[in-house]
Structure 1
């Protein structure tokens, strides 16, 4: 805000200064005591001192060169020759602010507003840039009172005044000021929300409740009072009272979308998704997305997908298509996942996570060129995002470039030597290739140490021991991996296949076939498993 004011005022000052400079150059008798714009002088006597204006013009020139300290000296001289010109003080205030001399800036803004008390923009700048951020609430209160007196009853200022009265412990004034709106049912509901929020954030919730309750006794048909009072009780975590108030407000006015949306948020926070869903058709798009997202997070993909599909007719929100992509991916519909993630990218191409999910989907489809392009797009946004680099390593390895894969893992470990996902994945690749097994074992142990209950990490460690011909040690870790994954969801077919392979090396054909068959029940199209069962 102050940058915009600075630029606009600097332009005006430059034009004005230029005019004044011309006048000065063309004769003292014409210039001296000549009448000029109300923007310079306060009061009726709009005349200026030529020496003051010379220093003012010099200050403008220094401002244009961004030599603010030199400009300040010129403006101070201008004030010394003529202390009744508001813009001199405004120019000083701006330059002090740029030099981070806030106390001096405040003083100059205040002197300006003494001469120009009806300047709303400058008053607002003083409030928002200096008084409020620095906790000058007493000064802010006096300024807002003055602005309301001189400019008129502007709602944002009047609401701010309630907040300031509460911060300054002027409770009676705050109550009286808020009463101006609470007795008026035609006021926008956001005003009621703002007043309730003021009582809450200044830790005067009990006072706010008493005020709203008192007005509710007088105006029982004002649904906005139920709304505001509900917000106050919500801050007190009295959810049963909140629901009671919101339901009464809705009964009074069935079109109270703002109450229904608050009630919807409350039901979601209580994990009462069915009641939130019952409000789906009566709330706005944003609330509908929240309901659908709550179902997604609760792993109720079918209901979430149905709701997201309905919302598509109302908006093109990135979260909508991102979640639809995730649902399709979770259900192994990778081509449909790609379509939704591409739509999400079309809506907002700055979200790196969308590129990551898109790359994963392409990876599952074995479209490695497109997967690599997507993950690189994500890395342009977050160049050191480890998950992205790790996925890139997987993609490049599947494209057959082991040398480049190793280079990517080197890059990852420069950023974080203990990044467990990369430690596990790289060590598994080395085990599969039968290369650098000692290095693979050391990395795998570090990954397991970091996450000892990770079934995938234990599988990798067991498989490295298998490759090292240490079958008893391999069996110990592989059985633990199978137990953990079975308890969490279902055994991974690769882990079951590995168990079978280990038992075969230990000469236990019966258990080997048992685990291969279990793996085949999950991975029905695995020809390699069929061959192992048939040959043994």
Structure 2
């Protein structure tokens, strides 16, 4: 591994993503020891900087040609997140299912599939994915929150939804998604004061989030 590559990795590990990107982009092909390793780190830097289209170019190289399975799995997960953020949920679903085909099952993968299924109005399938996540890790906050939110949003089981959303929030009290889910559950239960309190806290943390803004407007009527 070249000194420039070591320097770039060191900067990346210190969360200095812009500096790391400059370092990586300055390495000529063939000098890093592995062009795929270089593509991997450049893609991760772009992803961290939220330059998703640039990140896709490099991470797709890794998933199609790299023999390092751990690196491929990580890149597919990152790709699925970026596709979801940018509204390309069908592509996100493709990456996640590729992970399952390779035998890589985790609460994160199942939870992501649950989220995508619910985005496409497949409620029963979404709940099944979240159940699989919770079977692997009953305390997983992402799965607890996702499952609880769906139960509340659809009115299927508000008591269970409240328990699950509160449990998720206990693991990360400042998480805006968890705050919003609990607020929305309280709204469905008719507890307006509690609903406003939690949803307002969520909105203060991410004021440009359209879903949370919509929830707060509905609750505040």
| Aligned pair partner of 1:519 in 183, 202, 205 | 202
Decide whether the 8 Å contact of 2:110 with 2:130 is kept in 1.
yes
Per the alignment, residue 79 of structure 2 pairs with: 392
Decide whether the 8 Å contact of 1:513 with 1:533 is kept in 2.
yes
Once the 2 structures are TM-superposed, how far is the Cα of residue 511 of structure 1 from its aligned partner? 1.0
| Aligned pair partner of 1:415 in 95, 102, 108 | 102
Per the alignment, residue 91 of structure 2 pairs with: 404
The aligned runs of 1:53-132 (5 Å cut-off) are none
1:382 aligns with 2:60: no
| Aligned pair partner of 2:51 in 367, 384, 399 | 367
Decide whether the 8 Å contact of 2:83 with 2:92 is kept in 1.
yes
What SS does structure 2 have at the residue aligned with 1:328? Answer: coil
| Aligned pair partner of 1:424 in 111, 115, 119 | 111
The aligned runs of 1:257-296 (5 Å cut-off) are none
Decide whether the 8 Å contact of 2:99 with 2:105 is kept in 1.
no
| Aligned pair partner of 1:457 in 135, 139, 143 | 143
Once the 2 structures are TM-superposed, how far is the Cα of residue 522 of structure 1 from its aligned partner? 2.9
Decide whether the 8 Å contact of 1:497 with 1:516 is kept in 2.
yes
Per the alignment, residue 176 of structure 2 pairs with: 493
CA–CA separation in structure 2 for the residues paired with 1:450 and 1:344: 42
Shift in CA distance, 342/421, structure 1 to aligned 2, threshold 3 Å? farther
Shift in CA distance, 340/481, structure 1 to aligned 2, threshold 3 Å? farther
- Bigger relative contact order (CA 8 A; separation at least 6): 2
CA–CA separation in structure 1 for the residues paired with 2:120 and 2:162: 18
Decide whether the 8 Å contact of 2:5 with 2:23 is kept in 1.
no
CA–CA separation in structure 2 for the residues paired with 1:450 and 1:387: 19
| Aligned pair partner of 1:478 in 151, 165, 176 | 165
Aligned-CA RMSD value: 3.1
Per the alignment, residue 191 of structure 2 pairs with: 508
CA–CA separation in structure 1 for the residues paired with 2:36 and 2:192: 49
Task: Tell which structure's C-alpha radius of gyration is larger.
Answer: 1
Once the 2 structures are TM-superposed, how far is the Cα of residue 492 of structure 1 from its aligned partner? 1.2
Per the alignment, residue 327 of structure 1 pairs with: 14
Shift in CA distance, 524/435, structure 1 to aligned 2, threshold 3 Å? closer
The aligned runs of 1:10-409 (5 Å cut-off) are 316-328=3-15, 334-343=17-26, 347-348=31-32, 350=34, 355-379=39-63, 380-382=65-67, 384=69, 385-409=72-96
Gaps of 5+ in 2: none
CA–CA separation in structure 1 for the residues paired with 2:12 and 2:190: 46
Count of aligned pairs: 213
Shift in CA distance, 450/401, structure 1 to aligned 2, threshold 3 Å? same
CA–CA separation in structure 2 for the residues paired with 1:515 and 1:506: 14
Shift in CA distance, 403/455, structure 1 to aligned 2, threshold 3 Å? closer
Shift in CA distance, 342/467, structure 1 to aligned 2, threshold 3 Å? farther
Decide whether the 8 Å contact of 1:475 with 1:499 is kept in 2.
yes
Could you report, residue by residue, the CA deviation over 1:99-158 in whole angstroms, capped at 9, with x for unpaired residues? Answer: xxxxxxxxxxxxxxxxxxxxxxxxxxxxxxxxxxxxxxxxxxxxxxxxxxxxxxxxxxxx
Gaps of 5+ in 1: 1-314
Decide whether the 8 Å contact of 1:493 with 1:523 is kept in 2.
yes
User: What TM-score, normalized by structure 2, do the two folds share?
Assistant: 0.78
